[in-house]
Amino acid sequence: MIERPIKKAQEATEDIVDEGKVLCPWLPDPPRCPHDKSHMDALEEYVGEQAMTVPVWRCPECGYREYRHGD
């Protein structure tokens, strides 16, 4: 008998969901947040330091933001 079958199934499902986000198979996956390792979303946001909207990567979980360059 398998020990803790429900817990093992949940862990396996989390791994699949975590690795399963692919926007287009021929493009690289979006970067991961350094804080919680979730995929980041590509957005255009207003940045006060530059007084304009710029392309950024934003983490949907924690709100971390970094600039997108060259895409």
The confidence band for 7, taking pLDDT boundaries of 50, 70 and 90, is confident
Helix (H) or strand (E) segment spanning residue 13: helix 5-19
Write the burial class of residue 67 (CB in 10 Å: 0-12 exposed, 13-18 middle, 19+ buried): exposed
pLDDT attached to residue 30: 84
Question: Domain coordinates of the chain in residue numbers?
Answer: 5-67
Tell me the C-alpha distance between 34 and 5, whole Å: 31
pTM of the model: 0.57
Q: Give the whole-number percent of the chain exceeding pLDDT 70.
A: 75
Q: Which residues pair with 54 in a beta bridge?
A: 45
